[in-house]
Amino acid sequence: MPASRERQNGTRCAGPCTMVIFGASGDLTKRKLVPALYNLVRQKLLPEEFSVIGFARRETSSHEFREQMRRNIHEYAGDDFDADLWQWLESRLDYVAGAFDDDAAYVRLAQKLTEAATAAGNSNVLFYLAAAPEQFGPIVEKLSRAGLTADSAAGWRRVVVEKPFGRDLESARKLNIELRGFLDESQIYRIDHYLGKETVQNLLVFRFANGIFEPIWNRRYVDHVQITVAEALGVEGRGGYYEEAGALRDMVPNHIFQLISLVALEPPISFDAEAVRDEQSKVLRAIQPMSPEDVLTKAVRGQYGTGSIGVRRLPDYRQEDRVDSLSNTETFVAMKVEIDNWRWKDVPFYLRVGKAMPRRLTEITVQFRRPPFTLFRGTDIGALQPNQLVISVAPEEGISLSFSAKIPGATMRIGNVDMDFAYAKHFGTKPATGYERLLHDAFLGDQTLFQRADMVEAGWAIVAPVLDVWTALTARDFPNYAAGTWGPASAAELLARDGRSWRAADQ
């Protein structure tokens, strides 16, 4: 039975396996991967025969590696730290020091894997590439030459590839070719942590496990869709990476397009990986490519200048560490995306993504068409708001539906009310990194929530014209929004031109 179907029938513990983390001394390992493993231990989803091998250039012993991870998990878990659970995981952590291009290091790794396989009775291995993107190809090549990537009767071999997956369409294609030179597509897990978020996964359930939403989920009833991903932080010491990437590359072809594809896809015939990913891929391929002229009217870029977020004062982006003092890199993007198919023709999807916004907020708003107003002539029509369905992804997780109601009293006055569902209140959920579900799926061999090669390439193809125009034309007005505001004025104008506005974040 495919893993995805088994998962629907109840969560099951992963089978014996060793996870090898390339880039184990980096931020991702301590901030996300190890905490996610700890949460999986808590949920009893890791098997007895489980182990982790950290692999990185830094000369660190296994003992020191364990200590570092322990210090960090204390911080992450806070009052929730459970010494026994951690001990279970810590005793399974090991470390190999070595450069990613050093053959001898792969020999040492192979030895460790053989020891782990002997202890576990099989040789299932998940390689996790939390390294710099230019190292993805060379690492896989070294692994393959060391004979470590071939599936066999003794065990499976899988490779999780972090983002960014390339920096444009051409480099993403090249990387896909490189990886598939050594691995089968079924062994490649391109991770996007947005798909690990509960509310994002819930989109499929919300749309297809309820009888009342799907019939109105189309151009006849929906006026437009808005997606906001706002962060209240600047680049936080990641200037080197961000200066090369920018907000568009960092967030849009990956995270945002995942959200759009799940809001817009047709019902898949099952929850099997290929069925779901086929439908997501169709959405991406139906997005109209922009002409260079379109880019000027349908895409907006911004860069933050000095300003305050609460009590914190942020400098100009251009003054951040490892950022060019004349930088042309955007820290904000807004775009109007059009999906040219029967369900969504003429329903714009507006997206905005930015650093240094007034607060952290990730949400999807589906705004429905206004009803005819004839009946309410003579009343305060201005108070009539269209229905909005708001799917909150962060920091709150939940769904809220707004509708009009009569304000009690002798006259006909209309107000807006919300029906709210909050995950934390209803299910009492514990904080998670978003990586728990994805790692667990990779251990089980379920690729549903991972990106297929064609999806990654389709995402890059959509943003390619925007990247081209923005690279060719220097933004003369940068910085054009102050830290602590909702982006440049042109972002509001993008919607105002269509007679619409962004949902107020404090609504």
| Residues that bind ligand BG6 in the complex, under the rule CB under 6 A | 163, 231, 250, 362, 394
334: closest CA among 228, 222, 463? Answer: 228
Q: How far apart are CA 126 and CA 130, in angstroms?
A: 12
In terms of CB distance, is 4 or 261 closer to ligand BG6?
Answer: 261
Minimum distance between the CB of residue 93 and ligand BG6, rounded to whole angstroms?
25
In terms of CB distance, is 97 or 467 closer to ligand BG6?
Answer: 467
Q: How far apart are CA 154 and CA 88, in angstroms?
A: 25
In terms of CB distance, is 77 or 394 closer to ligand BG6?
Answer: 394
CA-based R_g, the chain, Å = 24
Minimum distance between the CB of residue 192 and ligand BG6, rounded to whole angstroms?
8
SS3 label, residue 361: strand
Give me the catalytic one of 74, 193, 224, 255. Answer: 255
Minimum distance between the CB of residue 181 and ligand BG6, rounded to whole angstroms?
26
Half-sphere exposure at residue 444, Cβ-oriented, CA atoms within 13 angstroms: 27
Task: Collect all residues with Cβ–Cβ distance below 8 Å to 434 and sequence separation of at least 6.
Answer: 32, 36, 193, 194, 196, 197
Minimum distance between the CB of residue 196 and ligand BG6, rounded to whole angstroms?
9
Minimum distance between the CB of residue 215 and ligand BG6, rounded to whole angstroms?
31
In terms of CB distance, is 90 or 250 closer to ligand BG6?
Answer: 250
Count the helix, strand and coil residues of the chain and give each as a percent rounded to the nearest 5: 40, 20, 40
In terms of CB distance, is 231 or 279 closer to ligand BG6?
Answer: 231
Element (H, E) at 226: strand 222-230
In terms of CB distance, is 362 or 365 closer to ligand BG6?
Answer: 362
SS3 label, residue 222: strand
Minimum distance between the CB of residue 394 and ligand BG6, rounded to whole angstroms?
6
Q: How far apart are CA 89 and CA 44, in angstroms?
A: 12
350: closest CA among 184, 503, 209, 212? Answer: 503
Minimum distance between the CB of residue 440 and ligand BG6, rounded to whole angstroms?
18
Q: Is 255 a catalytic residue?
A: yes
In terms of CB distance, is 362 or 485 closer to ligand BG6?
Answer: 362
In terms of CB distance, is 250 or 320 closer to ligand BG6?
Answer: 250
Of all residues in the shown chain, the one whose CB is closest to ligand BG6 is: 250
In sequence order, what DSSP letters do the residues of 182-196 get, joined into one string?
TS-GGGEEE--GGGG
Q: How far apart are CA 328 and CA 319, in angstroms?
A: 13
Minimum distance between the CB of residue 202 and ligand BG6, rounded to whole angstroms?
16
CA angle 258, 238, 75 (to 5 degrees): 85
- Give 88-94's long-range contacts (Cβ < 8 A, gap of 24+): 88/41, 89/34, 89/37, 89/38, 89/41, 89/46, 89/52, 90/66, 92/50, 92/51, 92/52, 93/51, 93/52, 93/54, 93/62, 93/65, 93/66, 93/69, 94/51, 94/52, 94/53, 94/54, 94/62, 94/65
Q: How many Cβ atoms are within 10 Å of 341's Cβ, its own excluded? A: 14
φ, ψ for residue 59, nearest 5 deg: -75, 100
- Give 240-243's long-range contacts (Cβ < 8 A, gap of 24+): 240/321, 240/322, 242/323, 242/329, 242/331, 243/322, 243/323, 243/324, 243/327, 243/329
Minimum distance between the CB of residue 441 and ligand BG6, rounded to whole angstroms?
17
Q: How far apart are CA 156 and CA 125, in angstroms?
A: 6
In terms of CB distance, is 93 or 260 closer to ligand BG6?
Answer: 260
Catalytic annotation, residues: 255
